Amino acid sequence: QVQLKESGPGLVAPSQSLSITCTVSGFSLISYGVHWVRQPPGKGLEWLGVIWAGGSIHYNSALMSRLTISKDNSKSQVFLEMNSLQTDDTAMYYCARGGVGNYYAMDYWGQGTSVTVSS
């Protein structure tokens, strides 16, 4: 079955960088894109960006200068890197599959990984 699982550092110091890995199973990154979405505590969902099956990438323009999304198809992994973290980057970070033939919906989501930015 389709599964996505995020893994991250948990705690990051202010001004440092964040790296999160999304490991997928049950489908191929050659055929599906993967989105990144985050949710600060008690707040709504914020779309961060997407890496499409063919490798093209789109970012939320508000965060584009700090974000890098990449992937390794052979390892079934997608990577999110964010630099210059501040306390308001504290959030649950999710990866989600970009469905095919469903009008750009995110059809399966990971459980999320919590990131706290604190000294």
Give the residues lining the site for another protein (CB under 8 A): 35, 37, 39, 44-47, 50, 58, 60-62, 92, 94, 96, 99, 102-109, 111-112
Between residues 12 and 67, which has the closer beta carbon with respect to another protein?
A: 67
- The answer for 64, left when phi > 0, alpha when psi is -120 to 50, beta otherwise, is alpha
∠ CA 118-44-96, rounded to 5°: 90
* Closest distance of CB 71 from another protein, Å: 18
The nearer residue to another protein, 16 or 39, going by C-beta atoms, is 39
Q: C-beta of 80: minimal distance to another protein in Å?
A: 15
Classify burial at 36, counting beta carbons within 10 Å of its beta carbon; exposed 0-12, middle 13-18, buried 19 or more: buried
